[in-house]
Amino acid sequence: MNGARRLALVGLGALAACRGAPVAAAPTPAAGGLLHADLELPPGAERHDRPQWQVGDRFTLVRGGLLTAEFVVEAADANGYVLRGPGGARLRRDLDLGNLGEWPAAGEQPQHLLSPVDVRYHWPLWVGKRWQCEFVDQAAGGPALRTRVDYEVEATDRVRTPAGTFDALRILRTARLVGAEDRVLWRTQVIWYAPSLGTEVRQVLADTRIDLVAFSRAGT
């Protein structure tokens, strides 16, 4: 997989996929989707509601200071969003910005599928909120991996990026394979979500940092 393609997957939150033939829909786990979420806003906590992306919104990301890629929202409807990335790859998110997977530039069979969804955000957000989800992660040519992910909004940070400086919620994401917790290392990712933009402005995955370089609203 080339650098831009990998950035397309990792930079917008999908787990890394490998090249290969499209895959059929992965089976939905019996306890899939959202498993738990804090629902009560604590007294005095600042509330951050779900954003709404528009067709034509553009995100430019740089990974490791070298690999740059642009994504454009090309569709937005009751089913969620479709973003067009490098090479024409289509990344899909639901209306809550949950990750659904990646589709090729042409064709309806996914190359990477998260079923039913990786609940990347559970709205509204506030510092201290936690939630947990479970899904099947299947990349082209690979096995169906039942994955459980815990999210926690740890704090609000002032983050300086090439796109500007933002107040962003720092979200810790911890993923593990169900049934293999004692054999496979857990994977940790840190996400900084800026409510003022309605998108991530920084991520740290393993030893690599991904920053927002530019963002523009549709029509601007």
Share of the chain above pLDDT 90, in %: 76
Per-residue pLDDT for 136 more than 60?
yes
Phi, psi of 187 (to 5 degrees): -110, 130
Contact status, residue 119 vs residue 38, Cβ threshold 8 Å: no
Would 46 be classed as within a structural domain? no
Q: What is the pLDDT of residues 53-100, one digit of tens each?
A: 999 999 999 999 999 999 999 999 999 999 999 999 999 999 999 999
d(CA 36, CA 112): 25
Would 132 be classed as within a structural domain? yes
CATH for 126? 2.40.360
Would 159 be classed as within a structural domain? yes
Model's pTM, two decimal places? Answer: 0.85
Would 77 be classed as within a structural domain? yes
Domain of 124?
A: 3-32+53-216
- The more confidently predicted of residues 219 and 192 is 192
Would 38 be classed as within a structural domain? no
d(CA 109, CA 137): 15
Which pLDDT does position 11 carry in this prediction? Answer: 52
Per-residue pLDDT for 9 more than 50?
no
Strands 187-194 and 208-216: unpaired
Q: What is the pLDDT of residues 144-169, one digit of tens each?
A: 999 999 999 999 999 999 999 999 99
Q: What is the DSSP string of the chain?
A: --HHHHHHHHHTTPPP---SS--PPPPPPTT-EEEEE--SPPTTPPPBPPP---TT-EEEEEETTTEEEEEEEEEEETTEEEEE-GGG-EEEE-TT--EEEEE-SS-SS-SEEEEEEE----SSB-TT-EEEEEEEEEETTS--EEEEEEEEEEEEEEEEETTEEEEEEEEEEEEEETT-TTTS--EEEEEEEETTTTEEEEEEETTEEEEEEEEE-TT-
Would 47 be classed as within a structural domain? no
Would 40 be classed as within a structural domain? no
Considering its fold, how many domains does the chain have in total?
1
Q: Which residue has the tokens 């806003």?
A: 41
Per-residue pLDDT for 23 more than 90?
no
